[in-house]
A and B are shown apart, each in its own frame.
Chain A
Amino acid sequence: MAGKGMNLTLKIWRQSDANSPGKMVDYKVTDISEHMSFLEMMDVLNEQLVSKGEDPVAFDHDCREGICGMCSMYINGEAHGPDRGVTTCQLHMRMFNDGDTIYIEPWRAAAFPVIKDLVVDRTAFDRIMNAGGFVSVNTSGNTQDANALPIPKADADEAFDAATCIGCGACVATCKNASAMLFVSAKVSQLALLPQGKVEAKERVLNMVDQMDKEGFGNCTVTGACEVECPKGISLTNIARMNQEFLKASITADK
Chain B
Amino acid sequence: MSQLDAKIPEGPIKDKWTNHKNKINLVNPANKRLIDVIVVGSGLAGGSAAASLAEMGYNVKCFCFQDSPRRAHSIAAQGGINAAKNYQNDGDSTYRLFYDTVKGGDYRGREANVYRLAEVSANIIDQCVAQGVPFAREYGGLLDNRSFGGVLVSRTFYAKGQTGQQLLLGAYSAMSRQIGKGKIQMFNRHEMLELVIVDGKARGIIARNLITGEIQRHSAHAVVLASGGYGNVFFLSTNAMGSNVTAAWRAHKKGAFFANPCYTQIHPTCIPRSGDYQSKLTLMSESLRNDGRIWVPKKMEDVEAIRAGKKKPTDLSEEERDYYLERRYPAFGNLVPRDVASRAAKERCDAGFGVNATGEAVYLDFSSAIMRYGKEKATVMGEKNPSDQRVKELGEGVIEAKYGNLFQMYQKITDDNPYKTPMMIYPAVHYTMGGLWVDYNLMTTIPGCYAAGEANFSDHGANRLGASALMQGLADGYFVLPYTIGDYLADDIRTGPISTDLPEFVEAEKTVQDRLNALINNKGTKSVDHFHKRLGKVMWDKVGMARNAQGLTEAIAEIKQIREEFYKDVFVPGSMDSFNPELEKAGRVADFLELGELFAKDALHRNESCGGHYREESVEESGEQKGEAKRDDVNFKYVAAWEHKGEPSDAVLHKEDLVFENIELKQRSYK
Contacts and interface: CB of A to CB of B under 8 A. Distances in A.
Interface of A: 1, 3, 16-17, 33, 35-37, 39-40, 43-44, 47, 49-51, 53-56, 58, 60-70, 83, 85-86, 90, 92, 94, 115-116, 119, 121-123, 125-126, 129-141, 143-147, 149-153, 156-157, 159-160, 163-164, 166-167, 190-191, 194, 196-197
A139 B52 contact: yes
Query: 4 closest pairs, A vs B, by CB?
Result: A150-B141, A134-B173, A130-B180, A160-B134
A17 B579 contact: yes
Interface stretch (B157-165, B506-514, B546-554, B655-663): B157-165
Contacts of B283: 65
B55 A138 contact: yes
Given A70-B67, A130-B180, A134-B177, A36 B242 contact: no
Given A1-B275, A50-B527, A130-B180, A190 B132 contact: yes
A150 B140 contact: yes
Contacts of A137: 127, 130-131
Contacts of B582: 50, 56
B66 interface: yes
B602 to A, nearest CB: 28
B279 A167 contact: no
B137 interface: yes
B32 interface: no
Interface stretch (B95-103, B333-341, B405-413, B625-633): B405-413
Contacts of B409: 65-66, 90
Given A153-B139, A156-B136, A167 B70 contact: yes
Contacts of A149: 129
A134 B132 CA distance: 8
Contacts of A44: 277
A115 B408 CA distance: 32
Contacts of A85: 408
Contacts of B135: 146, 156
Contacts of A36: 275, 277
B152 to A, nearest CB: 22
B573 A43 contact: no
Nearest to B186: A126
Given A47-B527, A130-B180, A141-B478, A65 B76 contact: yes
Interface in B436-495: 478-479, 482
Nearest to B48: A139
Contacts of A62: 66, 71, 73, 240-242
A16 B578 CA distance: 9
B573 A56 contact: yes
Nearest to B166: A163
A153 B137 contact: yes
B315 interface: no
A67 B134 contact: no
Contact of A134 (B120, B125, B131, B574): B131
Interface in B177-232: 177, 179-180, 186, 188, 211
A243 to B, nearest CB: 21
Given A17-B579, A40-B278, A55 B573 contact: yes
Contacts of A116: 578-579
A137 B75 CA distance: 21
A23 B283 CA distance: 38
11 contacts: A1-B274, A40-B279, A63-B73, A63-B241, A68-B71, A68-B240, A122-B67, A126-B186, A129-B70, A141-B123, A160-B134
Centre residue among B138, B415, B578, B581 by max chain A CB count within 10 A = B581
B619 interface: no
B478 A139 contact: yes
Given A58-B581, A134-B177, A35 B274 contact: yes
Q: Say which size band chain B's interface belongs to.
A: 35 or more
B132 to A, nearest CB: 5
A115 B189 CA distance: 11
A145 B413 contact: no
Contacts of A125: 68
Interface in B313-358: 357
A140 B574 CA distance: 47
Contacts of A131: 180
Interface in B251-302: 274-275, 277-280, 282-283
A191 B132 contact: yes
B637 to A, nearest CB: 33
Contacts of B177: 130, 134, 136
B400 to A, nearest CB: 13
Given A50-B571, A121-B67, A126-B176, A135 B131 contact: yes
A63 B137 contact: no
B30 interface: no
A68 B66 contact: yes
Contacts of B211: 115
B137 A151 contact: yes
A17 B575 CA distance: 13
Contacts of A64: 240-241, 279-280, 282
Given A17-B578, A43-B279, A129-B70, 17 more contacts: A36-B275, A47-B527, A51-B527, A54-B573, A61-B241, A85-B408, A86-B412, A90-B412, A90-B413, A116-B579, A126-B179, A139-B55, A147-B142, A150-B137, A156-B135, A163-B159, A167-B70
B132 A141 contact: no
Nearest to A120: B67
A65 B573 CA distance: 27
Contact of B579 (A66, A115, A190, A197): A115
Centre residue among B76, B134, B412, B579 by max chain A CB count within 10 A = B134
Nearest to B280: A64
A69 B582 CA distance: 21
Contacts of B186: 126
Contacts of A55: 573-574
B134 A194 contact: yes
Interface in B104-137: 120, 123, 125-132, 134-137
Centre residue among A44, A68, A138, A191 by max chain B CB count within 10 A = A68
B603 interface: no
Interface in B364-382: none
B137 A156 contact: yes
Contacts of A49: 573
B129 A33 contact: no
Nearest to A130: B180
Nearest to B181: A130
A184 to B, nearest CB: 13
B590 interface: no
B556 to A, nearest CB: 28
Centre residue among B138, B162, B412, B529 by max chain A CB count within 10 A = B412
A66 B411 CA distance: 13
Contact of B160 (A53, A122, A145, A160): A160
A43 B127 CA distance: 41
Nearest to B276: A33
Contact of B165 (A61, A94, A141, A164): A164
Nearest to A36: B277
Contacts of B567: none
A92 B413 contact: yes
Contacts of B169: 163
Contacts of B143: 146-147
Contacts of A146: 85, 125-126, 128-129, 135, 143
Contact of A141 (B120, B242, B274): B120
A40 to B, nearest CB: 5
Contacts of B188: 123, 126
Contacts of A151: 137, 141
Contacts of B278: 40
A56 B579 CA distance: 11
Interface string B42-79: 00000010011001000000000011111101011000
Nearest to A72: B67
Nearest to B169: A163
A93 B249 CA distance: 37
A22 B55 CA distance: 43
